[in-house]
Chains A and B, each alone.
Chain A
Amino acid sequence: MIEVKNVSKSFNGIPVLKDINVLFEKGKTNLIIGQSGSGKTVLLKSIVGLHDIEIGQIIFDGVVFNELDFKKKKEMRKQIGMLFQGGALFDSATVEENVMYPLDMFTEKSHEEKRERVNECLTRVNIVNANKLFPAEISGGMQKRVAIARAIALNPKYLFCDEPNSGLDPQTAILIDNLIKEITEEYNMTTIVNTHDMNSVMEIGDKVMFIYKGEKWWEGTRDGIFDSENKELNEFIFASKLSQKIRDLKNLH
């Protein structure tokens, strides 16, 4: 469980996050949705400590993460897996080396044991016969899956995904979404996903938080999202012609 309490953050005096309060539950896929520039990525990076917050607390299962010293924060981060927007795989390393990296760095396992774990993780994300390929030699969807495999290599308690399906075709995007949801349930992790894709909301959104101009504007479940009377949220979810038609059809019935 991750609790965000009264978090504010600004860049050069310009507020980007304003008094955010939210609870992300364990074993569930928690979604942060909002327009581009609304502060989603800043919030996610603030939670994992890549940005320092000015006010508030980030609490990981009772531990105030943002108040830990550098050494303790480093220790805590071993329990965190993150999937970045572009995958962030190491260019100069093969698929196998990428997934093996956290194992190399933080475990004393033998090479064979590490290899076994790598193959286990790669199989889990449906990557086969790609161990020796470099990130540049595989597709965007495969890169995201390898990044997920790397993120889960150390059995993390927390998984963060920053726009996991950006730049992917709708079918691959759904595959990635479902993979994140399955892994969350399998490993009983606290997962937070940043997205502006409404398909993701409908596929995996156990809990949804809508952020607007740096403020929490709405919070609820994917079922409740369409019944909301929040103007900004409605403008966001019914932005496309397709979703507007679906809404009109729903209203007709």
Chain B
Amino acid sequence: MGLFYHIGKYFVLLSRVFSKPEKLKIYYRETIKEIDKLGLNSIGIVAIISVFMGAVITIQTAYNTENPIYPKYLIGLTARDTLLLEFSSTIVALILAGKIGSNIASEIGTMRVTEQIDALEIMGVNSASYLILPKIIGSVIFAPFLTLMSMIIGIFGGWLAGISTGVMTTQDYIYGIQYAFIPYYIVYAVIKIAIFAFLITTISAYHGYYSYGGSLEVGKSSTKAVVNSSIFILLFNVILTQLLLS
């Protein structure tokens, strides 16, 4: 029963979020702010993680393909496909759930418990739309760029690890990342990250928006936001993979 209650409440909140904005100019301004806060500020963490993801995939693939029957370009190919199909979308989304999910839930939750949301409502502002819609638009627009960036940096990280450990040559790696390339994998990753970004933002906003009490409850909401966003990312990962790749 609890699950259905929350799902129902979540969709009621979404219906308020997607109602007509009071003033487009202000929503545009807020969206730009959110792109900066949620997107640009995540570039650093995504870049660091991507370098190490690429490096680890390369080293692990090299370790598992030591037998001479496997061509060396397989390392580059594996690094490319793993990053494009899974890591640069799903792992990046899980990282974003931790970073921006907790940020959104605690920001909106604090506004709730300090009556700032009530103040917006009293002024006649649709607080759900004003606070959440720019975050959704900002993250859904920017997350695909983070994924594309993660792919490039991850492949670079793989090359760096490969040549520095001597498990392959640059030529082998470049041949591998170009071999049997399917451009649709990029489209698949972009679709996935856009949906994950929507889930992270709305689930976290839901937990923040319905916070009550004090700082302890805001902390709990923030934790719930990260946990539930992560669960739904993994669930939708399976669904989207089946829908888009089968």
Partner of A74, one of B110, B116, B126: B126
- The CA of A74 and the CA of B125, in the complex, are separated in Å by 7
- A interface residues, how many (CB within 8 angstroms): 24
Q: Would A77 and B26 be within 8 Å (CB), given that A86-B115, A88-B115 are in contact?
A: no
Q: Is A245 close to B, CB under 8 A?
A: no
Neighbouring B residues of A106 by C-beta, 8 Å = 22, 123-124
- The CA of A45 and the CA of B110, in the complex, are separated in Å by 19
Partner of A105, one of B23, B110, B116, B121: B23
Contact B118 A105 (CB under 8 A): no
Partner of B125, one of A45, A76, A105: A105
Q: Is A80 close to B, CB under 8 A?
A: yes
Tell me which residues from 126 to 141 in chain A have a Cβ below 8 Å from any Cβ of chain B.
none
Contact A84 B123 (CB under 8 A): no
- The CA of A142 and the CA of B60, in the complex, are separated in Å by 61
Instruction: Identify the interface centre among B110, B114, B124: most chain A CB within 10 Å of its CB.
Output: B124
Q: Is A82 close to B, CB under 8 A?
A: yes
The residue of chain A having its C-beta at the shortest distance from the C-beta of B116 within the complex is A88
The residue of chain A having its C-beta at the shortest distance from the C-beta of B19 within the complex is A70
Neighbouring A residues of B119 by C-beta, 8 Å = 82, 84, 88, 90
Neighbouring B residues of A76 by C-beta, 8 Å = 124
Contact B114 A88 (CB under 8 A): yes
Q: Is B12 close to A, CB under 8 A?
A: no
Tell me which residues from 45 to 100 in chain A have a Cβ below 8 Å from any Cβ of chain B.
45, 48, 50, 74-78, 80-82, 84-86, 88-91
Q: Is B122 close to A, CB under 8 A?
A: yes
- Report the contact-size class of chain B (Cβ under 8 Å from the partner): 10 to 19
Tell me which residues from 76 to 104 in chain B have a Cβ below 8 Å from any Cβ of chain A.
none
- The CA of A190 and the CA of B99, in the complex, are separated in Å by 46
Minimal beta-carbon separation of A135 from chain B (angstroms): 10
Contact A90 B116 (CB under 8 A): yes
Q: Is A120 close to B, CB under 8 A?
A: no
Minimal beta-carbon separation of A41 from chain B (angstroms): 10
Contact B115 A80 (CB under 8 A): no
Contact B116 A91 (CB under 8 A): yes
- The CA of A105 and the CA of B126, in the complex, are separated in Å by 11
The residue of chain A having its C-beta at the shortest distance from the C-beta of B118 within the complex is A50
The residue of chain B having its C-beta at the shortest distance from the C-beta of A93 within the complex is B116
- The CA of A160 and the CA of B23, in the complex, are separated in Å by 26
Partner of B123, one of A45, A89, A101: A101
- The CA of A101 and the CA of B115, in the complex, are separated in Å by 16
* B interface with A by C-beta (< 8 Å): 22-23, 26, 110-111, 114-116, 118-119, 121-126
